[in-house]
Amino acid sequence: MKNNNSQKGGLFHKVTNSIFTKLLLIFLISGIIIYFLLGFFFRTQISNSRKVPFYNNIKLYSDYIIKTIGFPPDFKEAMNIADKAGLIIEIQGKDISWISDKIDLDRRYNRHLIQVDADSVGWYRGRAIFITEQSGIQYTFITKSIINEGAENSFYYLLIAVSLVLIFTYLMIRKTLKPVKDLSRGVRETANGNFSYRIPVVKNDELGRLSESFNEMNLRIGSMIEAKHQLLLDVSHELRSPLTRIKVALELIEESDERKSIAEDIDNLEHMIAEILESESLNSRRGGLIKEQINLSLFITDVLKEYDRYSLINYSYGEFEDIVINADRDRLHTVFRNILDNALKYSGGSEKPIKIRCGCKDNFYIITIKDYGAGIPEKDLPYIFEPFYRVDNSRSRETGGYGIGLALCKKIMEAHKGSISIESGSGSGLTVLLKFPV
């Protein structure tokens, strides 16, 4: 008995915790209800239409009544028959116009009758109607009581009932598939780097278990990324001490090409470590921006004055001389220095100067920095903002850089609620667009 009960419980558990079974049950139940409603409707209509085949019986019954009334018609006898049979009898002919009972029924019922031989039979507003003619006199028989009252509205009732069933089905499916919407939002949040997002888990079906797996995946990925960030910080901090000792020892060595080369390598390492620490500090709660009002045009002019090759840069602010943004001056300085350093390095030998232009579009101030160097192949563009990614062709290690600068620029721009993007084609130069919210 225990085994049987456990098997039944397991089967019930499988059914109730399966989204596919739930959807199947919802559709089956909805189909049965719709089938029942349609069957009831058409059965009602068909049962009404079946009255027509009884024409022969109706014909015989009407002939009996007409014979009893006699010719010329005995209106007293006709009234007696009408009362007993529950009928309204109307007699129309030459110099004859008589009806047993006045009713509020317009003559449009003729359009709802069908012709059988020379007679007419049918239904109108719930009343059975039969019209026949004998000896030049037309006899109309109408039932007094309304048969199947409200049948004329049954079609509309059916539409309402089916609509309610479909709405119920929609709501049930929507409720069942709500975790899909939560999963979709979770995927978007994860794609945007929010690994702390958790999907609410309400049920223990396939989607519920998938949501739990998604949350566990986000937790593990977040932990791994946090561990990576912490490792970078620890290694960067630990490297500073030996680098300092190497620099001190280097001062004791006589001037030579080897000494100069070692000093340049140390400077590059220190610069890389500084960029790593700066990038990671933006992820820290205590590494937030220190903002102030900055005139962007004057700020760019001051940055350009730091370059000996100032003549190789063509800067024009046009009508945007007084652009003021709320930004962190030091970090903004890092962005422009990185971009301008790259532009000067990789456009070496070009006779055209680097162009810097200001503009405004879609509630963003846009700074465009264009060089005329080798550019970046299109296949590399989606990855250039990833840490430690370098293009092997034109932007090699010999020209400097460890693939951290652009990743740092992207973080700084996003921290300012702005963005950085690059447009390039191999051999056609490079255009960097910096967007700041107005």
For the chain, the residue count is: 438
> Which element (helix H / strand E) includes 214?
helix 206-250
Burial 85-110 (b: 16+ CB within 10 A, else e): eebbbbbebeeeeebbeeeeeeeebe
Q: What is the pLDDT of residue 393?
A: 45
Q: What is the pLDDT of residue 22?
A: 74
Q: What is the pLDDT of residue 1?
A: 47
List pLDDT tens digits, range 37-53: 776 776 666 555 555 55
Q: What is the pLDDT of residue 368?
A: 92
The pLDDT of residue 31 is above 60? yes
293 pLDDT band, cuts 50/70/90, is very high
Average pLDDT on 406-424 reads: 87
Average pLDDT on 411-420 reads: 89
Beta strands in 268-363 (DSSP E): 291-295, 313-316, 324-328, 354-361
Residues 36, 38, 39: CA angle, nearest 5 degrees: 60
Return the minimum-mean-pLDDT range out of 21-25, 129-133, 154-158, 166-170: 154-158
Q: What percent of the chain shows pLDDT beyond 90?
A: 5
Q: CA-CA distance, 412 to 55, in Å (whole number)?
A: 91
List pLDDT tens digits, range 139-184: 999 888 766 545 556 666 777 887 788 788 878 877 877 888 888 8
The pLDDT of residue 15 is above 80? no
Average pLDDT on 189-208 reads: 82
Structure tokens at 249: 């020892």
Q: Which amino acid is at 433?
A: L
Dihedral sign for Cα 278, 282, 288, 289, please.
Answer: positive
Stated pTM of the model: 0.49
Q: What is the pLDDT of residue 107?
A: 67
Q: What is the pLDDT of residue 2?
A: 46
Those residues with Cβ within 8 angstroms of residue 265's Cβ, 6 or more apart along the chain or in another chain: none
Q: Which amino acid is at 303?
A: V
Q: What is the pLDDT of residue 242?
A: 81
The pLDDT of residue 67 is above 80? yes
Highest-confidence range of 13-17, 145-149, 191-195, by mean pLDDT?
Answer: 191-195
Those residues with Cβ within 8 angstroms of residue 170's Cβ, 6 or more apart along the chain or in another chain: none
Q: What is the pLDDT of residue 395?
A: 44
Average pLDDT on 323-337 reads: 88
List pLDDT tens digits, range 364-404: 899 999 988 777 878 888 888 877 777 654 444 455 456 77
Beta strands in 11-136 (DSSP E): 87-93, 96-99, 113-116, 119-124, 127-134
The pLDDT of residue 434 is above 80? yes
12 pLDDT band, cuts 50/70/90, is low
Q: What is the pLDDT of residue 6?
A: 47
Q: CA-CA distance, 267 to 273, in Å (whole number)?
A: 10
Q: CA-CA distance, 354 to 307, in Å (whole number)?
A: 13
The pLDDT of residue 20 is above 80? no
Dihedral sign for Cα 212, 214, 217, 223, please.
Answer: negative
* CA distances, 38 to each of 27, 270, 314 (Å): 16, 81, 78
Highest-confidence range of 108-117, 124-133, 142-151, by mean pLDDT?
Answer: 124-133
10 pLDDT band, cuts 50/70/90, is low
Q: What is the pLDDT of residue 211?
A: 86
List pLDDT tens digits, range 227-276: 777 776 677 677 777 878 887 888 888 888 888 888 878 877 777 777 77
Q: CA-CA distance, 332 to 324, in Å (whole number)?
A: 13
Q: CA-CA distance, 175 to 171, in Å (whole number)?
A: 6
Residue 116's closest CA among 49, 64, 65, 68?
49
Report the Cα 375 to chain-centroid distance in Å: 37
Q: CA-CA distance, 298 to 351, in Å (whole number)?
A: 26
435 pLDDT band, cuts 50/70/90, is very high
Verify cis geometry, omega within 30 degrees of 0, for the bond prior to 242: no
The pLDDT of residue 282 is above 80? no
Q: Decide which of 309 and 168 is more confident.
A: 168
User: What's the chain's average pLDDT?
Assistant: 78
Q: For 109, which DSSP code?
A: G
